[in-house]
Structure 1
Amino acid sequence: MTNQFDRFVGTDKYIVSPALKDVVNVAIALGRPLLVKGEPGTGKTLLAHNIARGLEKELLIWNVKSTTKAKDGLYVYDTVQRLNDSRFGGGDVSNIKNYIHLGQLGKSFNTSEQLVLLIDEVDKADIEFPNDLLNELDEMSFFIPETEETIAAKNRPIVIITSNSEKELPDAFLRRCVFHYIEFPTPELMQEIVRVHYPDLENRLLQEVLKRFYWLREIDNFRKKPSTSELLDWIQALLAGGIKPETVAKELPFAGALIKKEQDLEVLASAVSRSGNGRLGLRGRF
């Protein structure tokens, strides 16, 4: 467990709400994994990057896929390499340790410095994946039968786990985590976030952009609402295209930077037609 002065307060590149800041520090103080949920684009993955940056710690990333097994994060026994070495030479095949490669979770245990470990999109894997990590995350150790060796955490890592709610996570797994749902930023918080990325953005353009963006997010029946990352891309496109605030107030230039599904473009066109709130437009040329 970290000492009482090891506190996360955000970084100059990542604005955190008071609630998120508090729950990060609770997870650190308890030595529990922090499970973070929220709609895409709310900064779940970036949180771990900025915790590492803010606390000046190394970051390890375990990107979970549909084929990922829990053991992959602990260690891999490279039997193929050992077989090749036994046939063609090039290694001491009598020493199995030469063929044991620690995974990201194993590496986070086997270090003299406390690290930040991101287990990204845990719900992509098989439903048994979280259950298979219960003991390791609880006890912060695991056994390698091939070498009869136990790897125990020298310093308990700060574990951040993200989920997009594609699958329900087991209750036993949830009990071992501190949980936080990242709410979509309010317009006031979003203004702070935008200012971090575009400090010199004209205020009138910023206000028109936010007005348009939150109007879009209120439209029902979108399959994918525009997120923070798409808002930032849209602003960059507007600046590159030389779009003026008055144009954003009347139109929706470069709508493809915000809307990523054909069905949603149709929903948007219908909403614009019904409301009279401007028109779809592509103004400005690169």
Structure 2
Amino acid sequence: MNPEIIKYTGKIHPANGGEWNEQLRRNLYAYYPSNSLKEAVNLAIKLNRPLLLEGEPGCGKSELARAVFYEFSKQYTNYEWDYRLWNVQSTSKAQDGFYSYDYIGRLQAAQLAKVEIKDDKSDPANPKDYLELGPLGHAFNKYYLDEKENQENPKYRTIVLIDEIDKADTDFPNDLLLALEDQCFEIKDLRPPKWLEANPEAPPIVFITSNQEKELPNAFLRRCLYHYIEFPDNKDDLKKIIQARFKSQPHKLVDKAIERFLELRSEMNDDKEETAKKVSTSELIDWFTVLNDYPPEKVLKKLENERYPFGSTLFKSRQDKSEYGL
């Protein structure tokens, strides 16, 4: 059977000011995708391929997966939605995303069993007790790993975020190729070895982000859909982002702060090389978080007397602070 057709609209948001999500253990805020980004998400779902996202640091690449999770968990309640985050590090290996196996723990339990000391937590005769699934392992777990392992769970669907894949070494993306394409992998440490495969009726939705620190292999790119998230230079779009985060701010203050921010952004665009760090939406949010702690009248006065008050939230180098902060 084909999976149910689902569609990301970008219209279902948490309330202004944010909404605590217990499953993600964080506040979620409204996310306003462009039409081209919504199209990319829906094509990735339709074709059952990962969506590779690039863009300037701080442009909201990682937040997209959470926004999709929020909307789908509200809109498609016939599924039990899960969200799995894989923060890639320089030492990460593809195996980390599938599963890890506690060889030492099983050996210790076996030694304790020989001297008749019971360990209530695990059974050395049961290798599954020492298996821990990674983010992709959970997403591809079509069958339970417990006594119900032969029963399918078609109501369970996962959104996976593989964040900053370009941090890992160059072999990392290639080691994910077949698993992402075939949506299955082998657990070689079980006897007999076991394959975990995604439920074809409820396949995982995979987002991958990159800050373009390394080039990704062509074979990997071929298996992904791609979208570059542009900075929202439109003043109204930035106002929506601020108003989603902060309640009841005077329009005059929001307009003034965003105008000043866009001036800085424009100067940096004119002066900086493509590889340099320009202010993005994350700096705007940090800046406004500080401005929001003061009475609007005081903030407006500071904006009149200083180019960029509380500039430490905007400038990420001594050169930037010296060049733009005075």
Matched to 2:69, the amino acid is A
Q: Which residue of 2 aligns with 1:152?
A: 197
Shift of 1:100: 2.0
1:197 equivalent to 2:214? Answer no
The number of equivalent residue pairs is 269
TM-score, normalised relative to structure 1: 0.89
From 277, 280, 289, the counterpart of 1:236: 289
Q: Deviations over 1:82-130 (max 9, x none)?
A: 1111122324323322222211101111153111011111111111000
Aligned CA-pair RMSD: 1.7
TM-score, normalised relative to structure 2: 0.78
Residue aligned with 1:115, SS = strand
Shift of 1:67: 0.6
From 158, 168, 175, the counterpart of 1:125: 168
Query: For residues 79-228 of structure 1, what are the structure 2 equivalents within 5 Å?
Result: 79-89=103-113, 90=119, 91-111=122-142, 112=153, 113-147=156-190, 148-154=193-199, 155-186=202-233, 187-219=235-267, 220-221=271-272, 223-228=276-281
Shift of 1:260: 2.3
Q: Which residue of 1 aligns with 2:44?
A: 27
Q: Deviations over 1:117-162 (max 9, x none)?
A: 1111111111100000000000001112222111111231000001
Q: Please identify, of 134-143 and 225-234, the stretch whose mean Cα deviation from structure 2 is larger.
A: 225-234
Q: Which residue of 2 aligns with 1:277?
A: none
Question: Matched residues in 2 for 1:247 and 1:145: separation?
Answer: 63
Q: Deviations over 1:141-191 (max 9, x none)?
A: 111222211111123100000111111000110011110000001223112
Q: Which residue of 2 aligns with 1:265?
A: 321
1:67 equivalent to 2:91? Answer yes
Q: Which residue of 1 aligns with 2:26?
A: none
Matched to 2:209, the amino acid is T
Q: Please identify, of 10-19 and 172-181, the stretch whose mean Cα deviation from structure 2 is larger.
A: 10-19
Shift of 1:20: 0.9
Matched to 2:123, the amino acid is D
From 30, 55, 60, the counterpart of 1:38: 55
**Identical pairs, percent:** 42
Q: Which residue of 2 aligns with 1:51?
A: 68
Residue aligned with 2:208, SS = strand
Question: Matched residues in 2 for 1:226 and 1:241: separation?
Answer: 22
Given that 1:36 and 1:161 are in contact with CA atoms closer than 8 Å, whether structure 2 keeps it comes out as yes
Residue aligned with 1:240, SS = coil
Q: Please identify, of 132-141 and 82-91, the stretch whose mean Cα deviation from structure 2 is larger.
A: 82-91
Pick closer, same or farther for the CA change 1:75–1:239 going to 2, 3 Å.
closer
Pick closer, same or farther for the CA change 1:108–1:267 going to 2, 3 Å.
same
Shift of 1:249: 4.2
Question: Matched residues in 2 for 1:78 and 1:67: separation?
Answer: 19
Shift of 1:205: 1.2
From 230, 245, 253, the counterpart of 2:300: 245
Q: Which residue of 2 aligns with 1:9?
A: 9
Could you tell me which runs of 5 or more consecutive residues in structure 2 were left unpaired when the two chains were aligned: 14-29, 74-80, 114-118, 143-152
Shift of 1:198: 2.4
Question: Matched residues in 2 for 1:182 and 1:29: separation?
Answer: 20
Matched to 1:231, the amino acid is L
Q: Which residue of 2 aligns with 1:273?
A: none
Given that 1:224 and 1:264 are in contact with CA atoms closer than 8 Å, whether structure 2 keeps it comes out as no
Question: Matched residues in 2 for 1:72 and 1:170: separation?
Answer: 20
Matched to 2:7, the amino acid is R
Q: Please identify, of 32-41 and 214-223, the stretch whose mean Cα deviation from structure 2 is larger.
A: 214-223
